[in-house]
Amino acid sequence: MRISVDTDRCVATGMCAFTAPEVFDQSDENGVVVVRRQDPPEDQHEAVREAAMSCPVEVISVE
């Protein structure tokens, strides 16, 4: 699994960090998504997919 995000379109709702805190965080400066682990372990894959689906502006891509 590889994760990419479009930080320019992120609206800082924090759903990703709430859903998968081991993988996503928010910038202290502006609240924009920060990927903590580009290649998360398999036990985090379901949470990452859920986080991507919960993003209101669909800035998270999962391969």
pLDDT in tens, the chain (63 residues): 999 999 999 999 999 999 999 999 999 999 999 999 999 999 999 999 999 999 999 999 999
CATH 3.20.20.140 fits 3-62, yes or no: no
Q: Which residue has the tokens 């081991």?
A: 22
- Please tell me the predicted confidence (pLDDT) of residue 60: 97
- Please tell me the predicted confidence (pLDDT) of residue 35: 97
d(CA 12, CA 7): 9
CA 8 to each of CA 15, 37, 46, 57: distance values in angstroms, whole numbers, following the listed order: 16, 19, 25, 11
- Please tell me the predicted confidence (pLDDT) of residue 14: 97
